[in-house]
Amino acid sequence: MSVFKPFITSDVIVSPFKVNKSFTFTGNELTGSNVQIDRFFGKNITASLWVSGSNTTGYITSQSQALVYRSIRELYYSNYLLGDDGSPAATASFNNDGTITGSAYTPNYYNYLSNTLLPNRYFPTGSDEAITVISIPSNLFGEYLKPGSVNISTGNIFLQDDGLGNLLSSSSIKVGDVIYEHGIVIITSGGITGSLNGYGQVNYGTALYGGGSYSFISSFYSGSLTCSFESTVTIYETQYKCTIRENEFNFSNNPSLLSGSISISNGSGSIFPQPGSGKLNDNVTGSYFSPYITTVGLYNNNKELLAVAKLAQPLPISQVTDTSILINFDF
């Protein structure tokens, strides 16, 4: 025999929260079938017309170097091609005769900024200048990369993001950007001297590393790479509040409470208690007797058991106050 008590709306609370998981991959692990982190070398090829299938790049999928360069430029840097802190906003004048005058009539682009602070992005625009793109698949980074968790290294060069979308060298010099929601790491320069201020901005100067930016950028495409980061996923915790009032569930159906109960065997070594005369034992008829709770079952509207919650130790039901049991599910 079972006793059921329905939940009311206030008994069920669903709470979302973020969880993170760390990953570290080295060398050939990046392109393995279980990881699939791809790398692309983008180049501003201006010497000739683009030809489909030429100048390909990529370890897992094959892409055009020119198209990789143009796609990254359009998606993440289109507002910053005339200045590291943003190009002038497009403006126009609406005249009384219905005409519009001005150099541009479209708004600025959306470049997936990581915060609302004053942005600062550098993108090389000269002929044959290059970038390296590291693409992490969504099944690894989840909803977005955790800010401040991205670390990239090759040889003796170590890069880390600062939590504001800036990819910095070990000397805190900006060399690229991290697009957290897309799992994209972009290396755009060979290290530019300058210092970051408290708003994520850097004053660009001269090239830092020997061999120029091209050599530095290509090393992250062709060299052995170590990549570590943390993924972010939202999970939902459902809490069920099971409230037992002082006058509820105060009777037990345990047959061992009946006097004269006996035990029988099923022939395989298992012993089952059986009720005897049906008279309650003296120790359970007093006003101080209270059943103990060991298990709570959750049922659907058809009285079908869906889940079972086990208490760490038997819990006596109070006769003077409500007893509440909280059951948490993480999905």
The domain of 240 spans 9-14+236-330
Identify the domain boundary among 235, 258, 273. Answer: 235
Residue 248 pLDDT class (50, 70, 90 cuts): confident
Domain count for the chain, please give it.
2
- Who has greater pLDDT, 240 or 51? 240
CB atoms within 10 A of CB 116: 6
Same domain, 76 and 221: yes
**pTM (2 d.p.):** 0.72
Residue 274 has pLDDT above 70, yes or no: no
Same domain, 34 and 153: yes
* Residue 32 covered by a domain: yes
Residue 39 pLDDT class (50, 70, 90 cuts): very high
Q: What is the pLDDT of residues 297-320, one digit of tens each?
A: 999 988 899 999 999 998 888 888
Same domain, 20 and 138: yes
* Residue 4 covered by a domain: no
The pLDDT mean for the chain works out to 82
